[in-house]
Structure 1
């Protein structure tokens, strides 16, 4: 469907839970959260059905950590069976990927993004509150074995070793994307400029870079580049693509094609906005099945023209990333 500014909204992210088995400082509270939410499966399916009726055809399951969601494979399989769904993707920290990959493949997953901010074992353990990097590496290798398209997402920090991550991604034959830190929740710090941090640093190591234009991306598989706002580059001495997702330094609101639903069934037309639409009353009203789609339509139509992360006094979302859905 089109929003009030004529943008085609075709991509929905659904957070299945606000819980996670890691504690990355910019996303999750250090202490165990007391109010854990798991989005009921029947309600997730109703949201997908209503979204499809509005013309949304691409879905991404997020968290928290979606692989902590009970019967994730069954949910995925049921979503894939809904007429009008073109693709279903998953974003995970990769900790449980090795044991879940075969089931995800059988259920029909189209691609997997693995969140990984460092390739250094010690740094990974500190960043994630005790996580084991080897679990993630095993998961990536297992997905590759099963020919599931994988991308690595790394959130940029001042300390990020972009060359080490690029070498790691090249070794494992996966696309690497660097994501500018969102000033949301625990990530409210000054973002790092991706161009100087990533492109200029990698150019010194891997030679000249050029942008991969949209027509080339369309000629290749969408599984390689996805449906999101990343801008991709190739380097003369690097065998993989490098993507940049820049909400601040490369604002892409004019072509934003997505909305989010939190694990509490609240629709967020814009990640940055404090405005949410509670879908629970419509989800609970089973006697009026069209009510949910109409509520979603109205909310999506009113999607803001842009975020205002760069404005100090703007009214921003107070939620943490695990609540919003990554």
Structure 2
């Protein structure tokens, strides 16, 4: 979380649940098989379970999952289990409560850990997303891997994507995916490479004898761009073919002009057919137009 916090948006600027459900229903009919509702914390929005329940009933949707910071999630876990949510990504950058407060600006470490254990209690698959940040939490890499010894979780270390809402040009990353793996191998020399699933954004590993696994996501190095099949729609309705672009279409505005579903499908198909070759091309286009990186805290990771 940026030190200065974020500018919160009015409700009118956000997509309504009805708009989210409409575009989700259309995308599933177009062939999308997985939907993830992301945070921060999705449950900060009132009645989010109504949307999740409606999404879970879409014919043709194979998987509904969420990404959460775990602060408000715990009371809803039984309901998530009931509607068929089988996988949750939990953002957790450190196992130290002091560093947690420094990174998140919130004193809510115990609540997040409670969410982790409640998810496991309900046999929901948990992936822990830990962004590796130089000078902030690199000392947590080994303890986070140690979590996988007794807990059936996948701990995924993510290269920092240096989006801080400024125009600073970054020319390198002290802790890239190779250095992260080197650090892990120093602590766990026997770690073994796993076969990565199709379209995986992570390189996956397993320490023999551990219940869980380890993943490394080269978010800054962008080594997975050739196989990435993700699209993202922000709360304001901005369609992003890549996290590094500045948006290619505002679905909220298009829908509010009274477009039909048939027309909307053509608009979406056209946008998907103009994906950048990779994250570097998307970033170049973004900087040329705006010169500013949006904060990752507003994009949602």
TM beyond 0.5: yes
1:27-106 equivalences in 2 (<5 Å): 30-36=4-10, 38-106=14-82
Q: Secondary structure at the match of 2:280?
A: coil
How many Å separate the matches in 2 of 1:168 and 1:309? 37
Which string of whole-angstrom CA distances, capped at 9 and with x for unpartnered residues, describes residues 155-176 of structure 1?
0112322001112343333110
The 8 Å contact of residues 57 and 85 in structure 1, kept in 2 or not, is answered as yes
Q: Secondary structure at the match of 1:255?
A: coil
TM-score by length of 1: 0.81
Between 255-264 and 55-64, report the one with greater CA deviation: 55-64
Between 67-76 and 282-291, report the one with greater CA deviation: 282-291
How many Å separate the matches in 1 of 2:216 and 2:5? 31
The answer to whether the aligner puts 1:319 opposite 2:294 as a matched pair is: yes
Say if 1:275 and 1:284 are closer, same or farther in 2 by CA, change over 3 A: closer
How many Å separate the matches in 2 of 1:257 and 1:108? 23
Q: Secondary structure at the match of 2:243?
A: coil
Match of 2:218 in 1: 246
The 8 Å contact of residues 248 and 309 in structure 1, kept in 2 or not, is answered as no
Match of 1:176 in 2: 155
1:89-168 equivalences in 2 (<5 Å): 89-158=65-134, 159-160=137-138, 161-168=140-147
CA RMSD in angstroms, aligned pairs only: 2.5
Which string of whole-angstrom CA distances, capped at 9 and with x for unpartnered residues, describes residues 160-219 of structure 1?
22001112343333110001111323596643212222x2222222222222114xx58x
From 256, 273, 290, the counterpart of 2:245 = 273
From 167, 175, 182, the counterpart of 1:200 = 182
Return the structure number with greater relative CO, CA threshold 8 A, min gap 6: 1
The 8 Å contact of residues 97 and 140 in structure 1, kept in 2 or not, is answered as no
Gaps of 5+ in 2: none
The 8 Å contact of residues 150 and 212 in structure 2, kept in 1 or not, is answered as no
How many Å separate the matches in 2 of 1:177 and 1:94? 16
Q: Secondary structure at the match of 2:127?
A: strand
How many Å separate the matches in 2 of 1:149 and 1:210? 21
TM-score by length of 2: 0.87
Say if 1:285 and 1:249 are closer, same or farther in 2 by CA, change over 3 A: closer
Count of equivalent residues: 289
Match of 2:260 in 1: 288
The structural deviation recorded for 1:317 is 6.4
How many Å separate the matches in 1 of 2:8 and 2:60? 37
How many Å separate the matches in 2 of 1:151 and 1:307? 24
Gaps of 5+ in 1: 1-23, 219-226
Query: Where has structure 1 moved over 6 Å in runs of 4 or more?
Result: 309-313
The structural deviation recorded for 1:35 is 2.2
Q: Secondary structure at the match of 2:231?
A: strand
Say if 1:252 and 1:32 are closer, same or farther in 2 by CA, change over 3 A: closer
Between 289-298 and 73-82, report the one with greater CA deviation: 289-298
Say if 1:239 and 1:288 are closer, same or farther in 2 by CA, change over 3 A: closer
How many Å separate the matches in 1 of 2:220 and 2:6? 31
How many Å separate the matches in 2 of 1:295 and 1:153? 33
